[in-house]
């Protein structure tokens, strides 16, 4: 199946299908509720309040890295 039919399919139908998939994803994007958005903002602020980074999931590693960097200076 080589020839003009294959080229037409790849150059016209492919991008149209991709555009439809992108439009579908954008239309079905979940919006955060006010409660979830507030909770997310509080969690981010909490992470930035701890200079050693111990409140994050990788906090222990970040704290160790911070101590090593201080020693190197």
pLDDT in tens, the chain (73 residues): 566 677 877 888 889 999 999 999 999 988 889 999 999 888 888 777 766 655 556 556 666 776 777 677 6
Instruction: Please enumerate in sequence order all residues whose Cβ is within 8 A of that of 46, keeping only pairs 6 or more positions apart, or say none.
Output: 55
- Give the per-residue pLDDT at 26: 93
- Give the per-residue pLDDT at 52: 60
- Give the per-residue pLDDT at 60: 60
CA dihedral 45, 49, 54, 58 (to 10 degrees): 40
- Joined together, the tokens standing for residue 7 give 């080229």
- Give the per-residue pLDDT at 38: 92
Closest-CA residue to 20 (of 8, 30, 6, 12): 12
- Tokens 């309040």 locate to 49
> What is the domain partition of the chain in residue ranges?
1-30, 32-73
């Amino acid at each position: 199946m080589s020839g003009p039919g294959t080229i037409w399919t790849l150059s016209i139908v492919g991008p149209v299908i991709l555009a439809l998939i992108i439009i579908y994803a954008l239309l079905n994007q979940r919006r955060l509720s006010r409660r979830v958005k507030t909770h997310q903002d509080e969690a981010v602020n909490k992470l930035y309040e701890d200079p050693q980074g111990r409140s994050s999931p990788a906090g222990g590693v970040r704290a160790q890295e911070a101590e090593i960097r201080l020693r190197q200076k």
